[in-house]
Amino acid sequence: MNKQEQLLETKKYIRQELGNESSGHDWWHIERVRKLSLKIAETEIAETESADLFTVELAALLHDLDDWKLNDNGTESYTKTANWLKKINIEDEVRHQIIDIIKQVSFKGAGVNTKPDSLEAQIVQDADRLDAIGAIGIARAFSYGGNKNRLLHDPGSKPEYHDSFEAYKANGGSTINHFYEKLVLLKDLMNTDTAKQYAESRHEFMERFLHQFFDEWEAKE
Least Å distance, CB 182 to Ni ion, is 13
The answer to whether 75 touches 68, Cβ cutoff 8 Å, is yes
Taking the C-alpha atoms of residue 90 and residue 39, their distance in angstroms, rounded to an integer, is 24
One of 61, 144, 190, 195 touching ligand ADP (CB under 6 A): 144
Binding ligand ADP (rule: CB under 6 A), the pick from 55, 106, 191, 194 is 106
Task: Tell me the CA distances in angstroms from 28 to 24, 31, 139, 153, one per residue in order.
Answer: 9, 5, 13, 27
Positions 181 through 220 that interact with ligand ADP (CB under 6 A): none
Question: Closer CB to ligand ADP, residue 62 or residue 105?
Answer: 105
Per rule CB under 6 A, is residue 104 in the interface with ligand ADP? no
| Binders of Ni ion in range 35-54 (CB under 5 A) | none
Taking residues 10 to 39 in sequence order and writing x for each that binds ligand ADP by CB under 6 A, - otherwise, the string is: --------------xx--------------
- Helices (H), strands (E): how many in the chain? 10, 0
Q: Which of 44, 66, 120, 128 binds Ni ion (CB under 5 A)?
A: 128
Under the criterion CB under 5 A, does residue 64 sit at the interface with Ni ion? Answer: yes
Q: Which stretch binds Ni ion (CB under 5 A): 1-9, 56-64, 68-76, 149-157?
A: 56-64
Alpha-carbon 96 to chain mean position: 20
CA separation for the pair 13, 202 (Å, rounded): 30
21 scored as a contact of Ni ion (CB under 5 A) = no
d(CA 83, CA 86) in angstroms, rounded, equals 5
CA dihedral 24, 26, 27, 30 (to 10 degrees): 40
CB of 131 to Ni ion, least distance (A): 7
